[in-house]
Amino acid sequence: MKPEEAKSTIEELTDKINYYNYMYYQQHKSEIPDYDFDKLLEDLLRLEQQFPQYRKEDSPTQRVGGHVSGEFPTAIHRFPMLSLANTYSKEEITEFDTRTKKQIQGQPEYICEQKYDGVALSITYENGILKKAVTRGDGLRGDDITHNAKTIRSLPLRIFADNLPEIFEVRGEVFLTLENFERINKEREDIGEPLLANPRNAASGTLKMQDSAIVAKRKLDCYIYSLLGENLPIQSHSEALELLKNWGFNVPDTWSKCHSIEEIMGYIEHWREKRFQLPVGTDGVVIKLNSFQQQNSLGYTAKSPRWAVAYKYKAESASSKLLSIEFQVGRTGAVTPVANLSPVSLAGTTVKRASLHNANEIKRLDLRLGDTVFVEKGGDIIPKVTGVDLTQRSLDFKPIEFISFCPECGTELIRREGEAVHYCPNDTLCPPQIKGRVEHFIQRKAMNIEGLGPETIVALYDKELVKDPADLYALTYDQLISLDRFGDKSAKNLLKGIEKSKEAPLRNVLFALGIRYVGITVADKLARHFENIDRLMSADFEELRSVPEIGEKIALSILDYFNTPEKQSFIDKLKEAGLNFSVDTSEQVKESNIFEGQSFVVSGVFQNFSRDNIKEKIENNGGRIISAVSSKADYLVAGDKMGPAKLDKATKLGVKIVSEEEFLEMLKK
């Protein structure tokens, strides 16, 4: 394609996709089938990679991320980001109302809204285009995390509206829905990553991740609650909320106008329980004076506005008796202590169990069997034990000892250095680990075997038909039909599902193996790089490290896995069963062979690509990636912020050093 043609096609595609995104995310209308939409996006991505100079600032491809930053630049807030005066006391809300009435000498109009439990973000738009997103930081300056913010789908990259102010700022709260938070933690648990503590920490950690492609996968969302700028066409907070909504921002409908302290209290009580039905964690209510003129007359303290106040709900707490402690063993062998409690009703549900996380937590709480404990259900989903009522403790209550042996298989537990969690190391024979491995193996992202639920897995294990996932491929019709509640149809369906799974591509197979820290994304990178399992199994640490997204921790885990004799024979069994252990090369996105026989080292930070994008580009064009500069390297693709030692070494060894622009030129040939 000629450059001029590429430029206009990129513009056309950008506008078209932005329009469909706007309709979908802001108007909740789907005007194009998903497949066609994905195709448009792919076309745009491809063109932008070929002609990065024409990529537009509001390009929708930024939603999928791909930018890797070294560290985030600091940005100064044009208007400082203040905080809110907080209180748990209704009297103080009444005092706030009295003060306000006195100041404005009349009956104020308030807007009550939810206090979302996430991370504050300030986003600047210029000429309708999202220019900059900055975290709160110390209130005066924060981190410029624009690339990450652009992955938030409900945040318009470009606003379609008439009479937009040339420049304005919106502020809001970035969060993960409770559903997304649980999904992420399930995935982490599945591959043996430590769990994220709560949705807010998860959102804040995600916003500060350096690879925006991973941020995009986390699916952050953002509610907008304020609009700042000069000469805005509005006089009040409620007008701001309505305007923001019209411009396509995600403004929740939970706000309400209140004209008296009674109405404010009514709003607070209405949401005390109902807030648990919202998709996002909240921890209180914000009460804001509506009129901007009146806001200005009340003014600010050094830290917060005098025209607003936050009422925080006390986390609901109840007391209950600690009856016993159960130790649960998960798929990865992690042992979690769970408290069995006398049933108590809390925030709308009956609580009978609470996780105690690990041995440190039991120690911290100094728990004893028989203790009366306080249980809380804050913004979080899972109830937790927050303390012990010492007035109820009797001398004969015994301290809780963490177990030393696995409750399932009797093996002595281990605790890895620097980790709080105890593990059962007997992964080949410990029953919950086996069953968990089978569950992991059959899931949709892995071998995708339908017709096999958790009960069937238990039944197959109990009958000694399945001792590892590879045994699934030896199951017969007669064996299946002998299981409880298994008829002709379900047996045939399952056998069909098992047979069909043999078609799953290598990346699914690699994920299904259950290598610690190897999620589906990493499995995909491994499959692309090595193309078959034998090459992967013989790779050394250096080669593993050269693969996009593979860090030291993952590389060591992979080496450890393939060095274990049991795992090797497991893989042999799967090979015999006929699973896909190499990439179907016809499926691969080979763009050309221009780099055939050449080896590249990629280092530093780039403008138009993430480091991983560049590596993929090289591989898709026939080149090889190696991790360190050595005489084996032909090229060093050098980005910003690259260490001088690498450059030196490359120069000495005669490795050709190319800049990002030069690399792009090479690609065009």
Nearest distance from residue 450's CB to ligand IVH, in Å? 43
Both tokens of 377, joined, read 């259900």
| CB neighbour list of residue 284: distance below 8 Å, 6 or more residues apart | 86, 114, 115, 310, 311, 312, 313
Answer yes or no: are the C-beta atoms of 339 and 114 closer than 8 Å.
no
Q: How many CB atoms lie within 10 A of CB 451?
A: 18
Answer yes or no: are the C-beta atoms of 323 and 374 closer than 8 Å.
no
The residue from 8, 27, 30, 83 that contacts ligand IVH (CB under 6 A) is 83
Q: Which of 115/153 has CB closer to ligand IVH?
A: 115
Give the range of 110-118, 206-214, 424-432, 437-445 binding ligand IVH by CB under 6 A.
110-118
Chain centroid to Cα 487, Å, comes to 41
d(CA 493, CA 511) in angstroms, rounded, equals: 24
Give the range of 33-41, 111-119, 266-274, 631-639 binding ligand IVH by CB under 6 A.
111-119
Nearest distance from residue 81's CB to ligand IVH, in Å? 6
Q: Which of 312/467 has CB closer to ligand IVH?
A: 312
Answer yes or no: are the C-beta atoms of 579 and 498 closer than 8 Å.
no
Chain centroid to Cα 622, Å, comes to 32
Give the 3-state secondary structure percentages of the chain, helix then strand then coil, rounded to 5.
40, 20, 40
Q: Which of 7, 56, 90, 115 is catalytic?
A: 115
Q: Which of 225/517 has CB closer to ligand IVH?
A: 225
Does residue 82 interact with ligand IVH by CB under 6 A?
yes
Dihedral class, residue 44 (left if φ above 0, else alpha if ψ from -120 to 50, else beta): alpha
Nearest distance from residue 291's CB to ligand IVH, in Å? 16
Backbone phi and psi for residue 659, each to the nearest 5 degrees, phi listed first: -80, 175
* Nearest residue (beta carbon) to ligand IVH: 120
Q: Which of 18/122 has CB closer to ligand IVH?
A: 122
Answer yes or no: are the C-beta atoms of 368 and 380 closer than 8 Å.
no
Q: How many CB atoms lie within 10 A of CB 39?
A: 12
Does residue 609 interact with ligand IVH by CB under 6 A?
no
> Can 115 be counted among the known catalytic residues?
yes
Q: Are strands 129-135 and 119-126 parallel, antiparallel or unpaired?
A: antiparallel
Nearest distance from residue 148's CB to ligand IVH, in Å? 17
Nearest distance from residue 138's CB to ligand IVH, in Å? 12
Nearest distance from residue 144's CB to ligand IVH, in Å? 18
The residue from 56, 67, 115, 357 that contacts ligand IVH (CB under 6 A) is 115
Nearest distance from residue 170's CB to ligand IVH, in Å? 12
Both tokens of 605, joined, read 């930070």
The residue from 20, 37, 51, 116 that contacts ligand IVH (CB under 6 A) is 116
Nearest distance from residue 315's CB to ligand IVH, in Å? 17
Q: Which of 137/248 has CB closer to ligand IVH?
A: 137
The residue from 10, 44, 120, 406 that contacts ligand IVH (CB under 6 A) is 120
Q: Which of 115/615 has CB closer to ligand IVH?
A: 115
SS3 549: coil
What residues between 233 and 262 interact with ligand IVH by CB under 6 A? none
Residue 85's closest CA among 284, 304, 265? 304
Q: Which of 168/609 has CB closer to ligand IVH?
A: 168
Nearest distance from residue 123's CB to ligand IVH, in Å? 13
Burial 628-658, CB ≥16 within 10 A → b, else e: ebeeebbbbbbbeebeeebbebbeeeebebb
Q: Which of 222/362 has CB closer to ligand IVH?
A: 222
Nearest distance from residue 357's CB to ligand IVH, in Å? 27
Dihedral class, residue 517 (left if φ above 0, else alpha if ψ from -120 to 50, else beta): left
Does residue 286 interact with ligand IVH by CB under 6 A?
yes
Does residue 143 interact with ligand IVH by CB under 6 A?
no
Does residue 84 interact with ligand IVH by CB under 6 A?
yes
Give the range of 77-85, 228-236, 345-353, 526-534 binding ligand IVH by CB under 6 A.
77-85
Q: Burial of 341 by CB count in 10 Å (0-12 exposed, 13-18 middle, 19+ buried)?
A: buried
Give the range of 113-121, 421-429, 474-482, 524-532 binding ligand IVH by CB under 6 A.
113-121
Q: Is the dihedral of CA 456, 462, 467, 472 positive or negative?
A: negative
d(CA 95, CA 106) in angstroms, rounded, equals: 15
Q: Which of 136/528 has CB closer to ligand IVH?
A: 136
The residues that bridge with 321 in the sheet, in sequence order, are 372
Q: Which of 180/295 has CB closer to ligand IVH?
A: 295
Q: Are strands 221-228 and 167-175 parallel, antiparallel or unpaired?
A: antiparallel
For 242-249, the CB contacts below 8 A with 24+ separation are 244/170, 246/161, 247/156, 247/159, 247/161, 247/164, 248/22, 248/25, 248/26, 248/156, 248/159, 248/160, 248/161, 249/154, 249/155, 249/156, 249/170, 249/172, 249/224
The residue from 72, 225, 247, 635 that contacts ligand IVH (CB under 6 A) is 225
Strands (E), 117-185: 119-126, 129-135, 141-143, 167-175
The residue from 52, 165, 305, 425 that contacts ligand IVH (CB under 6 A) is 305
Give the range of 28-36, 80-88, 406-414, 433-441 binding ligand IVH by CB under 6 A.
80-88
Residues 160-199 as x/- pattern, contact with ligand IVH by CB under 6 A: -------------x--------------------------
| CB neighbour list of residue 99: distance below 8 Å, 6 or more residues apart | 306
Q: Which of 54/116 has CB closer to ligand IVH?
A: 116
Does residue 221 interact with ligand IVH by CB under 6 A?
no
For 16, 42, 100, 307, the CA distances from 114, given in Å and listed in that order, are: 35, 39, 21, 16
Backbone phi and psi for residue 293, each to the nearest 5 degrees, phi listed first: -65, -45
| # of chain residues touching ligand IVH (CB under 6 A) | 15
The residue from 58, 97, 113, 439 that contacts ligand IVH (CB under 6 A) is 113
Alpha helices, H only, 506-587: 506-512, 520-530, 533-537, 541-545, 552-562, 565-577
Q: Which of 136/331 has CB closer to ligand IVH?
A: 136
Give the range of 89-97, 109-117, 180-188, 362-370 binding ligand IVH by CB under 6 A.
109-117
Nearest distance from residue 273's CB to ligand IVH, in Å? 19
Nearest distance from residue 380's CB to ligand IVH, in Å? 17
Interface residues with ligand IVH (CB under 6 A)? 82-84, 113, 115-116, 120, 136, 173, 225-226, 286, 304-305, 310
User: Which residues are part of the catalytic machinery?
Assistant: 115
